[in-house]
């Protein structure tokens, strides 16, 4: 009940090749590679962005006027 031997893995590989075929497995591999590449690009892009935009203080004196149309109590 220990780990699988090399023969077990070869049989599993043969069954997977028979079930899915080499063309479908090649497509899955290229799709997975594209997803990993896209993830790495997104992480590099995120690293280059500024971490936080400067916040405006409340002392600017800006007032927003509006009218309440529906007031519901929670």
Residue 38 lies in a domain: yes
What is the number of domains present in the chain? 1
The answer to whether 25 touches 17, Cβ cutoff 8 Å, is: yes
Residue 59 lies in a domain: no
Residue 57 lies in a domain: no
Residue 62 lies in a domain: no
What whole-number percentage of the chain has pLDDT above 90?
24
- Comparing 12-21, 39-48, 56-65, the range with the smallest average pLDDT is 56-65
- Find the domain containing 25 and state its range: 21-49
User: Which residue has better confidence, 62 or 9?
Assistant: 9
Task: State yes or no: pLDDT of 39 exceeds 90.
Answer: yes
The answer to whether 50 touches 59, Cβ cutoff 8 Å, is: no
Residue 15 lies in a domain: no
> In the numeric block, which tokens belong to residue 3?
């780990």
User: What are the pLDDT digits (tens) for 6-31?
Assistant: 999 999 989 988 888 888 888 888 99
Residue 34 lies in a domain: yes
Residue 65 lies in a domain: no
Residue 63 lies in a domain: no
């Amino acid at each position: 009940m220990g780990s699988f031997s090399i023969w077990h893995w070869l049989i599993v590989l043969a069954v997977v090749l028979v079930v899915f075929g080499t063309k479908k497995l090649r497509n899955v591999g290229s799709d997975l590679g594209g997803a990993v590449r896209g993830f790495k690009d997104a992480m590099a892009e995120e690293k280059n962005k500024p971490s936080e935009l400067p916040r405006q203080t409340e002392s600017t004196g800006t007032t927003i006027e509006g009218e309440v149309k529906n007031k519901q109590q929670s």
